[in-house]
Amino acid sequence: MGFKLGPWGPRKSAFDASTIDAPPPGNRPARESTREAQLACAQCGAVLSYAPGTDTLKCDYCGHTNRIEVAATEIVEECLDTALSEGIGDAPMEATRTVKCGSCAAEFTFDPAIHAGSCPFCGHSIVTDTGIHRQIKPAALLPFLLTDREAQERVRLWLQNLWFAPNRLKTYARDQGRLAGVYLPYWTFDSKTRTRYRGRRGDYYYVPMQVRSRVNGRMVTQTKNVRKVRWRPASGEVSRFFDDVLVLASRSLPTWMTDRLEPWDLIGLKPYTPEFVAGFQAEAYQLGLDACFDVAAQKMREVIAMDVRSAIGGDVQEIQRMDIQHSDRTYKHVLLPCWLGAYLFGGKSYHLCVNARTGQVQGERPYSWVKIGFAVLAAVIVAGIAAGIFLGTR
Ligand SMILES: [Zn+2]
Ligand SMILES: [Zn+2]
């Protein structure tokens, strides 16, 4: 019994159909292309797959390698306002054959070269062919850098270093696990922002006050400086340009997990070519541009609030109002690489994912209550000893 991918059994779907934006309607037959499902080896005709960390396609049968011609084009950002007002605007589209998981509703590209017919997200084996799917074509992607084996090694180390993990799990971690290579769909947003704000600036000042307190068992009156805040109204304007604010365009993985996969080295983005996806699966985006821009705008708002606080100055600040204006908003669709897996422990499955650029591992984990119990006990003993030393030296 080893550590392996799935079967994870039916999981409660984290996917709420009522809150999902319909993908932007394709009301304009814009620039369109079809993703080749298979790329054949020039030497033996077998199906090729992308070799992580290289710029070649490799044949698993005869070892022949084929160089990927990366287009010398710039990565293009599309106008968001056009897309929101006219459906997709004139963004390039791509038709891909996708399958949908009956358990977690993840939708991803169908690739006959990937023999596993199960869902890379939840391990469920029932995936249905949803046919040809038209979507905004990815503008760019970060190709896989870590191979399956390298990702497995990161997972093994991660499992070994888990605090409070039961000892038996560390034994499991020595076995080999299979991981599924998936490109996750993201939107990135740029925006020029101008924000008018109103609030208050607080400056500290100190006033001497008579304070009664007990010193060596006697009540005495002492003069102490007590801190007060002098508030004054503050208002003004700040501006900031946001570049490539990332928002995950699906709900197949929990956000706490995907958020912690950051940072992504977006500087390494390559113009999209289907060759980089060969041998991997790519999840189709499920969340539309408007809902995802709202998430991005919230991220921007937090940064702007810090700008406003520093513009107000003083020791403490209160923001009463921020009117944020966005302009020159652009977006692009990018694919980011992850190795997904799960390990079984005590009849329960735990999901994990590896950032296939940095090797960062995030995952669910079991806790050993025995170990936690001992740690708490140890902390109490240490505190007791410290208190004893402290009292003893008085
Ligand atoms: Zn070949
Ligand atoms: Zn699934």
- The alpha carbon of 108 and the centre of ligand 2 are apart by a number of angstroms equal to 10
In Å, how far are 8, 72, 277, 285, 341 from 361, measured between CA atoms? 19, 33, 22, 23, 11
Residue 226 lies in a domain: no
Report CA(49)–ligand 1 centroid distance (Å). Answer: 11
Q: Is the pLDDT of residue 29 over 50?
A: no
Domain span at residue 115? 17-188+245-287+334-363
How far apart (Å, rounded) are the C-alpha atoms in residues 123 and 6?
5
- The answer to whether residue 9 is domain-embedded is no
Q: 350 CA to middle of ligand 2, Å?
A: 14
Residue 59's H or E segment, with its range, is strand 56-59
Which ligand is the nearest neighbour of the Cα of 107? Answer: 2
Assess contact for 230 and 203: CB atoms under 8 A.
Answer: yes
Measured in Å, residue 124 CA sits from the centre of ligand 2 at: 5
292 has a pLDDT exceeding 90: yes
pLDDT value at residue 389? 58
Q: Does residue 50 form part of some domain?
A: yes
Q: Is residue 22 part of a domain?
A: yes
Q: For the chain, how long is the longest CA-to-CA vector? A: 96
Q: Per the domain annotation, does 155 fall within a domain?
A: yes
Cα(179) to centroid of ligand 2, in Å? Answer: 15
Burial class (CB in 10 A: 0-12, 13-18, 19+), 127: buried
pLDDT band at 34 (very low <50, low <70, confident <90, very high): low
- Amino acid 107: pLDDT: 87
Nearest alpha carbon to residue 332 among 85, 32, 77: 77
pLDDT of residue 347: 72
User: Which token pair is 377?
Assistant: 């006990």
Q: Domain for residue 157, yes or no?
A: yes
pLDDT at 3: 37
Q: Considering every ligand atom, which ligand is closest to the CA of 106? A: 2
pLDDT, residue 126, reads 66
In a domain, 194, yes or no: no
Torsion of CA 88, 91, 96, 101, to 10 degrees: -40
For 316-360, write each residue's pLDDT tens digit: 999 999 999 999 999 999 999 999 987 777 777 788 899 999 999
Please check whether residue 318 lies inside any domain of the structure: no
The more confidently predicted of residues 235 and 394 is 235
Domain count, the chain: 1
Q: pLDDT band at 236, cuts 50/70/90?
A: very high
Tell me the whole-structure pTM to 2 decimals: 0.78
